Amino acid sequence: MAEAATARSTLRSPGFSLVGHALTFAVYILLALWAAEFTFDKPEVPLIWPATGVALAAIWRFGYGVTVTVFVASLIAHLALDFIFLDATLMAVGNAASAVLGAWLLARLGFRGDLSTLGDLYRLAGVGVGVTALFSGFGGALVAVGLSPDLAKAVLLCWLADAMGVALFAPLFVSLRKERFAAGRWLAVTGALLLVAGITLTIYSNWIPDQIALPLSYAVFPMVMLVALRFPPWVAAAAIMVTSLVAVHCTAMDKGPFAQAGMGPDLLSLHAQLALLAITGLALAALRQERLAAEARARQHLHTLARAGRVNAMSALAAGIAHEINQPLCAVSSYAQSANRLLKRGADAGELQMPLERIVATADRASDIVRRMRGFLAEGDTEDELVDLNQPVGEACGLMRPEFRRREVELRLELAPERVCVCVEPLGMQQVVVNLVQNALESVDAAGNAARRWVSVRTSVMPDGRNVCLTVTDGGPGLANPGDEALFEPFITTRRSGMGLGLSIARSIVEAEGGRIRATNEPGAGARFDILLPLNRDGCETDGGGE
Amino acid sequence: MTEAVYLVDDDGDVRDAMVFLLESEGFPVQAFAEPQPMLDALDSSSRGCLILDVRLPQMDGLQLLEALRERSVDMPAIFISGHGDIPLAVRAVQAGALDFLEKPFRDEVLLEKVSNGLELDRHARESHSERHAVEQRLHELTPREKEVMEGMLEGKLNKIIASDLDVSVRTVEVHRANVLDKLHARNSSDMVRMVLSTDRYRDWLL
């Protein structure tokens, strides 16, 4: 995925980048010479001018220093196109100035360049078409035809040519970035672009009769849309540029469905289709990106909420854990003092071995508790891992055990004898268990029935062999409304100290892992919560789990 | 039965550490992980000192002490707690605990408390056996001698006792000498102290 660039209000100044200058110069000259082939008869102005898009994108990307390169490239291109030196200079000044103005505006407007939001797209379209293309087109027309009756028409045509240059070429050059795709994905990107080029070439190369080729020209739309829905925006922009290059070139060569009434009118009607294609493709890509970002935000929020829930849960466990740490501390202190006494009494080194060994083992026990606690309070990985469900469940129960001891409630743990592999976020799973077990403990403790002071936690493989079941049952009074979905709604609680988030967070986590959670009452006991998670058979087999 | 420190704590590490400390100081220790085995192991003849963890499985330390007292296990008890909550400490001392220590504790404090506890127990045993002996000797007194002795306890003069019992002063003097002799008392005030220490005569003057 494309990394989200941070918004900024000033243009970056990356220092002198030879690559940036060289690339700008080469692409500018190349596209200028290519486009110069396609000029209107009268007034003699180009029908598409990609150089404007290139100049805008280059200055925005590589900084104001590139303006000079743009000016030089434009000057050379125009001289090569047989402009007199004065006209070529004026043209170059116009091109460079309009691009600088556009880049400055983009930076001021907080343009991010990755085209990952509709807002970004609006900024590029507004500034590129409305400012840069307009200025550049006006300047170009003025130089080409001077103050003549043709000026209005020339301005319109030049603006159109520049606008198309911006719309079809600038998106790729601003949004192109390094991607960490897997090889397969690179292959898919390349294949998609080649396919788009191939289809466009087929449609525009006179192999197909015009009556079929014209409606067929719309086949590019679903292709580009598909690319926009599958890949980052720059790939969609690349597909649009590729198809445009082929279509424009063929049409100008008097080939394809649009080649009917001479180069001028033909290209203008092609422009309309390409502009629509660009809008559709880029808007779709931006929307996809926005959706991905929204999903990531939702995950992040769940994550933050979950962490707050863990801190909250931990505060409820603090008294028990403090006791649990104090015990080994007491033992360590006792052994150390004994050893000291022995030493003072002149005991030999051998006698000190046993207390010292016990000090080490006992200190390990204390640090184990601290490790478990810190693990539970960690920020946590957002990545799913293939884990044996017994592991996070055992860890969570280890965390809860001191509190059970403190309140004199029995915690029964029955783990499945085999490895039960699931693909989950281990910390999230641990939290689910802590939340459920804590609820159970509270309800058992509040009920005050001395004979039923127990909570049971079980993991097992379902008879269908496809799911793993995690069950938390308690000896409390049970749920008032077992099937009630409101149980899992946030801020609904029967406990005075609770926030009512425990079950809500648990359900969010379970459902994010593709699992289900169900609340019932167990006959002869209290409440029963079942969590079903898809069993990952491969994980069990590859890890050599004993079944 | 020999003297020992009887220790109960459900935490293995703490228990082992305390056993190590006490044994390295030469105290004989018998340690328990749960209250019930301790209840089974001790009776009124057990001697020494108790170290009880406040929080135990099945019953807490205070309940355990009550159960022990019901079985006439009257050794001094030291409570230890990892929680250090004041109400528990107060209740423990009210219930007759010798002291209350918070984990982790200084070894010299624990050792001192244990020594105190053992010393107290020893004293209690000695005075108990002395009382026991006096009570035995009291049984040897004739009814008349007993009457004379009770008069002496009330601080009556010989002639008052004589008139109360309607005998001669000379007879009272003979009985008096016999009482002191039978009770192995050096003089009458020694006799009064001895007799008043027995269960039977403890409340005689009240």
- CB atoms B20 and A334 under 8 Å: yes
Domain annotation covers residue A500:
yes
Residue B145: phi and psi, rounded to 5, are -55, -40
Local confidence band at A3 (pLDDT 50, 70, 90 cut-offs) = very low
Chain A: residue whose CA lies nearest to B105: A330
The last residue of a domain, from among B71, B94, B125: B125
Chain A: residue whose CA lies nearest to B82: A323
**How many other CB atoms sit within 10 Å of the CB of residue B192?**
19
Residue A429: phi and psi, rounded to 5, are -65, -40
Same domain membership, residue B185 and residue B89: no
List chain B pLDDT tens, one digit each, 206 residues: 578 999 999 888 999 999 999 998 899 999 999 999 999 999 888 899 999 988 887 788 888 998 998 888 889 999 988 765 677 778 888 878 888 888 888 888 999 999 999 999 988 888 888 888 888 888 888 998 888 888 888 888 888 999 988 989 899 999 999 988 888 888 888 888 888 888 778 777 66
Which of B59, B80, B107, B109 should one mutate to test binding to chain A, selecting the residue with the greatest count of A CBs within 10 A?
B107
Local confidence band at A82 (pLDDT 50, 70, 90 cut-offs) = confident
The last residue of a domain, from among A158, A177, A196: A177
Section A272-294 average pLDDT: 94
CATH number of the CATH domain containing A407: 3.30.565.10
How many cross-chain Cβ pairs, A to B, lie less than 8 Å apart? 67
The answer to whether the Cα torsion of A323, A329, A335, A336 is positive or negative is: negative
On the question of pLDDT at A409 being above 70, the answer is yes
> In Å, how far is A332's CA from the nearest CA of chain B?
8
Query: DSSP 3-state assignment of A409?
Result: coil
Same domain membership, residue B186 and residue B104: no
Domain annotation covers residue B160:
yes
Domain count, chain A: 2
On the question of pLDDT at A16 being above 80, the answer is no
Domain annotation covers residue B70:
yes
Same domain membership, residue B104 and residue B12: yes
- CB atoms A358 and B14 under 8 Å: no
Local confidence band at A7 (pLDDT 50, 70, 90 cut-offs) = very low
Longest pairwise C-alpha distance within chain B: 74
* Full domain range(s) for residue A389: 381-547
**Close Cβ partners of A82 (under 8 Å, ≥ 6 residues apart):** none
pLDDT at A286: 95
ipTM of predicted assembly, 2 dp: 0.71
- What CA–CA distance (Å, rounded) separates A324 from B103? 12
Cβ(A392)–Cβ(A429) below 8 Å: yes
The last residue of a domain, from among B125, B160, B183: B125
Domain annotation covers residue A396:
yes
- What CA–CA distance (Å, rounded) separates B177 from A395? 81
Which helix or strand (DSSP H or E) is residue A340 part of? helix A263-344
Cα R_g (chain B), whole angstroms: 23
- CB atoms A330 and B25 under 8 Å: no
Q: Which of A222, A219, A217 is nearest to A257 (CA)?
A: A217
Same domain membership, residue B76 and residue B34: yes
Same domain membership, residue B152 and residue B119: no
- CB atoms A334 and B11 under 8 Å: no
Chain A partners within 8 Å of B88 (Cβ): none
pLDDT at A547: 35
Local confidence band at A293 (pLDDT 50, 70, 90 cut-offs) = very high
In this complex, which of B17, B82, B104 lies closest to A323 when CB atoms are compared? B82
- What CA–CA distance (Å, rounded) separates A281 from A262? 28
Domain annotation covers residue A370:
no
One-letter amino acid for residue A124 of the chain? L
Domain count, chain B: 2
In this complex, which of A326, A337, A361 lies closest to B103 when CB atoms are compared? A326
Cβ(A240)–Cβ(A277) below 8 Å: yes
Chain A partners within 8 Å of B82 (Cβ): 323, 326-327, 330
pLDDT at A222: 92
Which of B51, B102, B103, B109 should one mutate to test binding to chain A, selecting the residue with the greatest count of A CBs within 10 A?
B103
- CB atoms A330 and B82 under 8 Å: yes
> In Å, how far is B64's CA from the nearest CA of chain A?
16
Residue B204: phi and psi, rounded to 5, are -55, -45
Chain B partners within 8 Å of A329 (Cβ): 103-104
pLDDT tens digits, one per residue of A304-363: 888 888 888 888 888 888 888 888 999 999 999 999 989 998 888 888 899 999 999 999
Same domain membership, residue B166 and residue B102: no
> In Å, how far is A380's CA from the nearest CA of chain B?
32
CATH number of the CATH domain containing B148: 1.10.10.10
Domain annotation covers residue A274:
no
Domain annotation covers residue A348:
no
On the question of pLDDT at A4 being above 60, the answer is no
Domain annotation covers residue B23:
yes
Cβ(A165)–Cβ(A53) below 8 Å: yes
- B59-88 residues touching A, CB cutoff 8 A: 82-83
Domain annotation covers residue B205:
no
- CB atoms A334 and B17 under 8 Å: yes
CATH number of the CATH domain containing B85: 3.40.50.2300
- CB atoms B17 and A326 under 8 Å: no
Same domain membership, residue B93 and residue B12: yes
> In Å, how far is B145's CA from the nearest CA of chain A?
59
Domain annotation covers residue B53:
yes
What's chain A's average pLDDT?
86
Same domain membership, residue B50 and residue B103: yes
Cβ(A10)–Cβ(A60) below 8 Å: no
- What CA–CA distance (Å, rounded) separates B21 from B110? 10
Domain annotation covers residue B184:
yes
Domain annotation covers residue A225:
no
Domain annotation covers residue B203:
no
B96 interface with A at CB cutoff 8 Å: no
Using alpha carbons only, what angle is made at residue B76 by residues A341 and B104, rounded to the nearest 5 degrees? 40
Per-residue H/E/C for chain B? CCEEEEEECCCHHHHHHHHHHHHHCCCCEEEECCHHHHHHHCCCCCEEEEEEECCCCCCCHHHHHHHHHHCCCCCCEEEEECCCCHHHHHHHHHCCCCEEEECCCCHHHHHHHHHHHHHHHHHHHHHHHHHHHHHHHHHCCCHHHHHHHHHHHCCCCHHHHHHHHCCCHHHHHHHHHHHHHHCCCCCHHHHHHHHHCCCCCCCCCC
Query: Which one is predicted more confidently, A43 or B109?
Result: B109
pLDDT at A170: 93
Same domain membership, residue B151 and residue B121: no
Least confident of A388-397, A456-465, B186-195: B186-195
Chain B partners within 8 Å of A405 (Cβ): 55
Query: DSSP 3-state assignment of A17?
Result: coil
- What CA–CA distance (Å, rounded) separates A80 from A283? 37
Same domain membership, residue B44 and residue B105: yes
Token look-up 């200028």 returns A32
pLDDT at A211: 81
Q: Which of B96, B98, B119, B130 is nearest to B199 (CA)?
A: B130
The last residue of a domain, from among A177, A192, A208: A177
B104 interface with A at CB cutoff 8 Å: yes
- What CA–CA distance (Å, rounded) separates A250 from A298? 47
The last residue of a domain, from among B69, B93, B125: B125
Chain B partners within 8 Å of A364 (Cβ): none
- What CA–CA distance (Å, rounded) separates A456 from A292? 40
- CB atoms B24 and A338 under 8 Å: yes
CATH number of the CATH domain containing A115: 1.10.1760.20
* Full domain range(s) for residue B185: 140-196
The last residue of a domain, from among A177, A204, A239: A177
Domain annotation covers residue B133:
no
Most confident listed range (A260-264, A453-457, B72-76)? A453-457
Domain annotation covers residue A369:
no
Same domain membership, residue B191 and residue B101: no
pLDDT at A546: 39
**Close Cβ partners of A277 (under 8 Å, ≥ 6 residues apart):** A220, A221, A224, A240, A243, A244
Domain annotation covers residue A353:
no
Same domain membership, residue B105 and residue B28: yes
